[in-house]
Amino acid sequence: MIATNPPTPRIGFIGAGNLATSLIGGLIQAGWSPDSLCAADPADTTRRQLTERYGLLVSPENQDIVHQADVVVLAVKPQVMQPVARALAEAIRPTQTVVSVAAGIEGPALSRWLASTLGTPGIIRAMPNTPALLGAGATGLVAVNAVSEMGRSTTESIFAAVGTVEWLEREADLNAVIAVAGSAPAYFFAFIEALTRGGTNLGLPQTMAERLAIQTALGAARMASETDVPVQTLRERVTSPGGTTAEALKALQAGDLDALVRKAMQAAVDRAGAMA
């Protein structure tokens, strides 16, 4: 018997703004053919750019793209998610997979909006963060209902093209992903700002302090991600007993950095719950 490879699934993006264009760029860079991708967006310039840049099939009509795709990524703003999903329900087949990237819109609502007389498609919620825009994202994924193997693996490929991917067992854990990753680039920005202000306070020019703080954040993140050495060991290695780093960390601990970060994350989780 001759083994045949399954056909490459086609991915359709509904809304081709910042996130979708980053995902499309990531997929093409990862070796996906532009023929396997298509996108709908009401903005003429957005569609023209995608055609000129990648030769992508585009349409101003969301339904056109849904008919072409095996996996449909809803990449519109949360405010328009409900009308967009409801308008597509009758066009979506139960064999398709729909991926929502909107924070705060929960599975039961998506299932209701996407249900039709034919049934409900497989639904996945994805929670990427903004570094995905430059290929360094961290995304949490959760299947809201029964999703085909094709749907799962294609969705994983989409987000793996712009960073790392974690599958969750429970939808409720997406709020924890928001606290640890979705909102967290801003925590690191705040820390860089604090380091910069501290450096300025100690007499460095502001721009120099900022450059040093940014490069140090980048260096620390690369050290943590590019070796198998646990982060705790990395911290201990740069903390000589009685040295400058030890004194600085002691001061951070005296201010209970851990408790402060936990409190900030709980605030993010509470807000995500309230927005749902």
Residue 46, interface with ligand NAD (CB under 6 A)?
yes
We find the least distance from the C-beta atom of residue 198 to ligand NAD, in angstroms, to be 29
Task: Specify the DSSP class assigned to residue 182.
Answer: I
Residue partners of 88: CB distance under 8 A and separation at least 6: 14, 62, 63, 66, 72, 114
Strands (E), the chain: 11-14, 37-40, 57-59, 71-74, 97-100, 122-127, 137-143, 163-167
Residue 103, interface with ligand NAD (CB under 6 A)?
yes
**Measuring CA to CA, which residue among 254, 191, 251 is closest to residue 220?**
191
Give the residue with the Cβ less far from ligand NAD, 80 or 260: 80
Backbone φ, ψ for residue 100 (5° rounding): -105, 135
Nearest residue to the partner ligand NAD, using Cβ: 17
Pick from 11, 56, 76, 99 the residue near ligand NAD by CB under 6 A: 76
Task: Specify the DSSP class assigned to residue 217.
Answer: H
Give the residue with the Cβ less far from ligand NAD, 80 or 276: 80
We find the least distance from the C-beta atom of residue 56 to ligand NAD, in angstroms, to be 14
Give the residue with the Cβ less far from ligand NAD, 39 or 209: 39
Give the residue with the Cβ less far from ligand NAD, 137 or 151: 137
Binding residues among 8-27 for ligand NAD as defined by CB under 6 A: 14-20
We find the least distance from the C-beta atom of residue 20 to ligand NAD, in angstroms, to be 6
Binding residues among 109-138 for ligand NAD as defined by CB under 6 A: 128-130, 132-133
Give CA–CA dist 125/143, Å, rounded: 6
- Residue 57's CB is within 10 A of a number of other CB atoms, namely 20
**Two tokens at 13?**
């993006």
Give the residue with the Cβ less far from ligand NAD, 61 or 270: 61
Give the residue with the Cβ less far from ligand NAD, 126 or 265: 126
Residue 164, interface with ligand NAD (CB under 6 A)?
no
**Measuring CA to CA, which residue among 173, 172, 119 is closest to residue 148?**
119
Which residues sit at the interface with ligand NAD, rule CB under 6 A?
14-20, 40-43, 46, 62, 75-78, 80, 84, 101-103, 128-130, 132-133
